[in-house]
Structure 1
Amino acid sequence: MTDDFSSAHVPLPTERHPESFQVPAVKRSEIWHPDGSVVLQAQDTQWRVHFSVLAMHSSFFRGMLGLPQPPDQPSVDGCPIIELLGDSVEDVENVLRALYDPSVFHIFTCYVWFPDRHPDFFFLQKALPFSVIASHLRLGRKYDFGADLETIVERITHENPTTLEGYDALKTGNSYHPTRIVHYQGLLYDTITLAGENNLLSVLPCAYYRALVGTIPADIFDGVPRGDGSVATLSPIHRRACNLGRTALLRAQWDSGNTFGWTDDSPEEIGCRDPFGCGQKKYAFFRRHVVRGSLAPFCSVSYVDSLSLCRMCTPDVKAKMITGRQRMWDLLPAYFDLPPWSELKNDP
């Protein structure tokens, strides 16, 4: 593979605007290789890199090889300039740092040449900052950094699974903390926004649910302050989905056959050893959580032990909760007015 870019033509989504390169405020990034063969520019920043590196990881850039280059192509130090329209400096910097970091380059090489191998890490960090995740998803889609994009999508979907087993595996008790994305206040809302903008539709049901149980109702409208002083907010379409989901889930979790439907069962029907006592305990549980507005359709089945029901009711309630939790998970997309799980595809 050659670094010769002298005969390459740059198609959309990149364009050339010679006049834009006359602005004296253009800065050089620290990613500036003296032997680089092409200069990328996003907004007011330039990077000098090797076209062969870009082509190795991106089918978009690989497709430019051998295309004719017009004579008026702007250049810097003899290197043609490709203006990346619509891309942020942060996104380009994040992606190029990954491609050029010697400590992780072998990981990308592994992904490119052996795409069926997917080690359980990326960048040698177990958890990546959300900004890095977002950059690689956006540019991975736009320029088809195939292996990079695949691992990023896997990381997001791991944190927001499509199965109840996957959801339960990420919990410690009834609490959840992300393991592959660095946590911060506002992460839930930012994940929803990113997934919606990049067609990761299978992520939305779990992310919506987590947003409901991980924040207070007012946050759906007001947003959640991030650590840097900015506020993570939801667009109207996502606010609508969350509000529909909250109302639907609060009602459905008590329906017969769902997670807490057993609260309305007659103790005598299952051979209860203490009909009055178990009946009172079930009613007290129901009343307490209805009054509080508790939303917990996927709470741990082990919670039943704390109710101190009789030895006949306890296993019966646990079995019904197991079935009810699964039923509600299967219907989770519908509570947010989304298509069934089978129709929620990721198309990054």
Structure 2
Amino acid sequence: MEDAPRNKRRRTDTEAQSEPEPAEIPLTRSTEYWFDDGNIILQVEFTQFRLVKSILSMHSSVFRDMFSLPLPADEPTVENCVVVVLRGDTVQDWALFLGVMFPKSHSTELPDVELLVAMLRLSKKYDFALFREGCVRRLKQEFPSTLQEFDVVSGGWTFINVDAGRNEDSFFSLISVAREIDLSSVLPALYYTILGNMGSKRMPKVGAIPYISTTDRLACLRGYPTVLQLQATTTLTWLDVKSTPRHIPSQNCIHPRRCAAAVEKIYLGVSSPYLPVTWPLSKWNSDWDDEMCSHCETKAKEIYEAGRETCWEQLPAVFGLLNWTELKALDFE
């Protein structure tokens, strides 16, 4: 027999009155961006920034339009400055953004990922056009939409500063902000680079890719075997010993036996069911040059480079995306 349900005792009025109210978080003033000659206060979360209207209006059409509107007579003020509450923003993003708008010194260093993400997010939301253009250009240079541009940056981070050991977090942050600001053309190169930096000896599990949406997570996971399949039918077809006729040895081969043995040796060195030694967009491995005669080397390179072009054109489809032309047309610019 089940126990009868216990009756809940109702709280008395005295008990209800004695319970403490939730503590309110006090507002704080920014120590760095509270200008004495400021005439507008931006409140982000529980932090207030006292800034200058004319500076904000010069860079942002959103603020320019906002400040052109007449203010209600009962608008709250602090030290005779109107307070504008910016909902949905973070103090960290605004502190980073204002550090660029009001620099304390001239810097030629590359921006780190946190700064770039903050700049992209706020410059899109408030139409800081000049800041947005520079950040978008930098992100597109790092993750381009042409193979020629990709070859420039494929050796590592070139236009963004990333601390050693923070590759994965950086990739995921950039994917999230690219989705947020509708910058679709950078996604294929981003996904592909993530796969090449996984560092796993087997296809990673879904849980191994944190911080991004399920859509982006699945795109990476589904793209992994597809990339390997694409590689077999593009850049590495010259290694196919079962093709008729065989690509290598070539028709003009000087040393057929040596070149045939070289193909088998290279094939065994690059083939792997889980982690490829070379990726389909990798540049030609110069170590292969010494394995074959000059005629076979030339033929193999032609097939390899043509395969890279084909692979690049098909890269968006690998991750379930539209083609390059359509992706670029979707960019918010």
Q: What TM-score comes out, normalization by structure 2 length? A: 0.82
Residues 27, 326 of structure 1: alpha-carbon distance in 2 compared, 3 angstrom cutoff: same
Q: 1:59 aligns with which of 58, 61, 73?
A: 61
Residue identity matched to 1:284: K
Shift of 1:307: 5.3
Q: 1:284 aligns with which of 265, 280, 283?
A: 265
Per-residue CA shift, 1:150-205, capped at 9, x if unaligned?
1111111111011111111124xxx3234423342321222222212221111100
Residues 181, 219 of structure 1: alpha-carbon distance in 2 compared, 3 angstrom cutoff: farther
Residue identity matched to 1:287: L
Q: 2:195 aligns with which of 197, 202, 212?
A: 212
CA distance in structure 2 between the aligned counterparts of 1:24 and 1:235, rounded to whole angstroms:
31
Residues 97, 266 of structure 1: alpha-carbon distance in 2 compared, 3 angstrom cutoff: closer
CA distance in structure 1 between the aligned counterparts of 2:116 and 2:238, rounded to whole angstroms:
42
Is the 1:42–1:84 Cα contact (8 Å) retained in structure 2? yes
Q: Tell me which residue corresponds to 1:93.
A: 95
Shift of 1:74: 1.0
Q: 1:331 aligns with which of 293, 314, 320?
A: 314
Shift of 1:91: 1.1
Is the 2:249–2:260 Cα contact (8 Å) retained in structure 1? no
Q: Tell me which residue corresponds to 1:40.
A: 42
Is the 2:142–2:157 Cα contact (8 Å) retained in structure 1? no
Q: What TM-score comes out, normalization by structure 1 length? A: 0.79
Q: 1:182 aligns with which of 155, 158, 162?
A: 162
Shift of 1:273: 2.0
Residue identity matched to 2:332: D
Is the 1:74–1:80 Cα contact (8 Å) retained in structure 2? yes
Shift of 1:84: 0.3
Is the 1:334–1:340 Cα contact (8 Å) retained in structure 2? yes
CA distance in structure 2 between the aligned counterparts of 1:67 and 1:150, rounded to whole angstroms:
27
Percent of pairs identical after alignment? 30
Residue identity matched to 2:236: F
In our comparison, the structure showing a higher alpha carbon Rg is 2
Q: Tell me which residue corresponds to 2:252.
A: 271
Residue identity matched to 1:80: V
SS at match of 2:271: helix
Is the 2:53–2:67 Cα contact (8 Å) retained in structure 1? no
SS at match of 2:66: coil
Q: Tell me which residue corresponds to 2:16.
A: none
Q: Tell me which residue corresponds to 1:27.
A: 28
Residues 66, 252 of structure 1: alpha-carbon distance in 2 compared, 3 angstrom cutoff: closer
SS at match of 1:296: coil
Residues 179, 143 of structure 1: alpha-carbon distance in 2 compared, 3 angstrom cutoff: closer
Residues 223, 309 of structure 1: alpha-carbon distance in 2 compared, 3 angstrom cutoff: same
Unpaired segments ≥5 residues, structure 2: 1-23, 241-245
Q: Tell me which residue corresponds to 2:112.
A: 129
Q: 2:206 aligns with which of 204, 221, 234?
A: 221
Residues 328, 169 of structure 1: alpha-carbon distance in 2 compared, 3 angstrom cutoff: same
Is the 2:41–2:48 Cα contact (8 Å) retained in structure 1? yes
Q: Tell me which residue corresponds to 1:246.
A: 224
CA distance in structure 2 between the aligned counterparts of 1:315 and 1:249, rounded to whole angstroms:
25
Q: Does 1:143 align with 2:144?
A: no
Q: 1:340 aligns with which of 300, 315, 323?
A: 323
Unpaired segments ≥5 residues, structure 1: 1-22, 105-123, 225-231
SS at match of 2:132: helix
CA distance in structure 2 between the aligned counterparts of 1:317 and 1:342, rounded to whole angstroms:
30
Shift of 1:269: 4.8
Aligned length: 296
Residue identity matched to 1:51: K
Is the 2:249–2:296 Cα contact (8 Å) retained in structure 1? no
Shift of 1:267: 3.4
